[in-house]
Amino acid sequence: ATVRPVHLSSAVRSAVSQHFQTGHKAKQKKINKNNFTGKGTFSQELKAVMRPRDVIQLGMVLSGVLLMLYIVTNPPQYAWKRARKILNNFGSTETEVIVHESPKAIHYKCGLPQECPVDHFAFHIKSGAANVVGPKICFEDHIIMSSVKNNIGPGLNIALINGETGNTEKFDAFNMYSGDVKELLQFMKEVRPGMIVLVASYDDPASKLTDEARDVFVHLGSTMVKSVGFRDSWIFASATGRDKSHFEGHIKNEKEKNVYDGWPEMLELGGCFPRKL
C-alpha cells in the first residue's frame, strides 16, 4: 500500500475550526456562569463545558474526517463500500439498489435466424437494389463484399470460398453491361471441387452473359441462370464437389411488378453449407 498525505477540503477545515471556537466560547461562558475555579482535572473541566449538542457536532466532524481518510487512502473499488459502513455506524441507512439487466439479443453469424450446425459454414447474400444500393456477401460473420468496403460493382459480384477451411480465396465484380465476359470466364476457371461459390447481382447482370458463361453456373447447380435477363435480380450460392448443394433466387424485371423504377426488388438469402472434410 502507498501512504499518501491526506489533504482536507477547506469546508472541513472551516467546520473543525468553527467547532473548536464555539466550544471555547461555550467553555468560557460556562466557567463564568458557574464561577468555575479551574481547580479541577481536565476531564472535569471538559465535562463542565461540553453540552450534548457539542458532542454530536464533534462526532459529525470526526465522521467526515474519517470518511475522507478512507476515500483517499483506499483503492476506489473498496472506498465506497467502507464509506457506507462508516455512515451506517452513525445512523445512516443503506439502500440497496438492484439493477436487472435486460437480456442481450442473440447474434448468429451473418444475421441468420438460428445457429448453423456443427461443422457448417454460415452465409448470407443480398442482391443490389436498382443501381443505388449495392449488394452484400457475408460468410462466417465476415463481410466479404459490400458498398462499405467499396469492392462491389454493377453486374455479377462473386466470392470463392475454400470449403474446407472457410477462407476466402478470391472475389471480384464483373460488369455485365459494358464489360468483357471473358474476364468472368477466366475467373470461374479458378473454381475447384470443394469450393463454395457466392454470387450477387447488381444493376444489370445479364446483357453480356453469354450461353457459355451461363453454362458454367448450370454446371454448379443453377436452375435459373438461363432465364436471367436485363436488370433482373439474381443471387446464387453453391457448394461444389461430391455433395453438391445450392441456394438460388431470381426476380424478373417486369414493369408491372417492379418495386423500383426500372428494377425489381432486392433479393436476399442465407443458410448453412457443410464443411468439406
pLDDT digits (tens, 9 = 90+) for 133-143: 999 999 999 99
User: Considering only 175-184, 219-228, 234-243, which range has the smallest mean pLDDT?
Assistant: 234-243
SS3 of 268, please? strand
Residue whose entry in the numeric block shows the C-alpha cell 423504377: 261
Note the pLDDT of residue 128.
Answer: 96
- The rounded distance, in Å, linking the Cα atoms of 195 and 113 is 25
Beta partners for residue 100, in sequence order: none
Burial class, 9, CB count within 10 angstroms (exposed 0-12 / middle 13-18 / buried 19+):
exposed
For residue range 11-25, list pLDDT tens digits in order. 434 544 454 455 545
- C-alpha distances in Å from residue 67, one per residue of 5, 54, 79: 15, 20, 9
Which pLDDT does position 39 carry in this prediction?
46
Q: Which of 18-27, 153-162, 249-258 has the lowest mean pLDDT?
A: 18-27
Residue 179 DSSP one-character state:
S
Neighbours of 159 (CB within 10 A): 23
State what percent of residues in the chain have pLDDT above 70: 67
